[in-house]
Amino acid sequence: MSRRRRIALTLALVVAWPAAGAQPAPDAAEAGRKLYVSSCLRCHGIELATNGIGFDLRTFPQHDKERFVRSVTQGLRAMPAWGETLKPEQIDLIWAYIGAVNGWKPAQ
């Protein structure tokens, strides 16, 4: 529950992503969570907890978003290149989800 509260707190501080359709925009971290579950979870674990295939995103530095975007887009070692599948805006949403799980304070 404490993690959920933390996510909720972070959600409140993250600018919601404007969705393409007429639907109201979902919170960025929740939208990112959905993308993560479909595309990332099988290697990076449930709520980022993994000992396996993927990099442990619980240890990813908050200040290095550029490296995150590059690895996701181009691939790295066992990580496939997602550049043709995920749009930059979607990678931003996943970044927001990772930040929510890790309890990052929003950058000023």
Partner 1 sequence: MNTKLAHGLAAAAMAAMAAIASAQTIADLRNDAATPGDVSTYGMGWSQQRHSPLTQITAANAGKLQAVWNLSLDNSANASNQPLVIGGTMYIASHTHTIAVDALTGRQKWKTPIELPADIAGYLCCGIHTRGMAALDGVLYRTTIDAHVLAISMADGKTLWKQKAAEYKDGYTLTHAPLIAGGVLITGISGGEYGTRGFLDAWDLKTGAKKWHRWTTAAPGEPGGDTWKGDAYKTGGAPTWLTGTYDPDLDLVYWGVGNGGPWNPATRGGDSLYIGSVLALRPSTGEIVWHYQFSPGDPYDYDGTNELVLAELPIGGKPTKVLMQANRNGFFYVLDRTSGKLLSANQFARKVNWASGIDMASGRPIDTPMTAMVRKTEEMKDFIEVWPSAFGGKNWMPMSYDPGSKLVFLNSIDLGMKVKYVKQARPGGPNWYLGLELGGFVGPEDGNRGALTAWDPVAGKPVWRVLNKSPFWSGVLSTAGGVVFTGSQSGQFMAFDSKTGDKVWSFQTGSGISGLPITWERDGRQYVTVLSGAATVYGALAGDPDLANVPAGGSVWTFALPASR
**Window 43 to 62, contacts with partner 1 (CB under 8 A):** 43-47, 49-54
CB of 86: closest distance to partner 1 in angstroms? 9
Q: Is 82 in the site for partner 1 (CB under 8 A)?
A: yes
Which of 11, 16, 26, 39 binds partner 1 (CB under 8 A)? It is 39
- In sequence order, the 6+-apart residues with CB closer than 8 A to the CB of 101 are 3, 7, 47, 48, 58
Q: Closest by alpha carbon to 54, among 31, 32, 36? A: 36
Q: Does 85 bind partner 1 (CB under 8 A)?
A: yes
Q: Which helix (H) or strand (E) holds 34?
A: helix 28-39
Q: Alpha-carbon distance 78 to 25, whole Å?
A: 33
96 exposure class (CB count in 10 Å sphere: 0-12, 13-18, 19+)? buried
Query: For residues 88 and 106, which CB has a smaller minimum distance to partner 1 in the complex?
Result: 88
- For position 23 contacting partner 1 by CB under 8 A, the verdict is no
Of 2-10, 11-19, 31-39, 95-103, the window that binds partner 1 (rule: CB under 8 A) is 31-39
Q: Interface residues with partner 1 (CB under 8 A)?
A: 37-39, 41-47, 49-54, 74-75, 77-82, 84-85
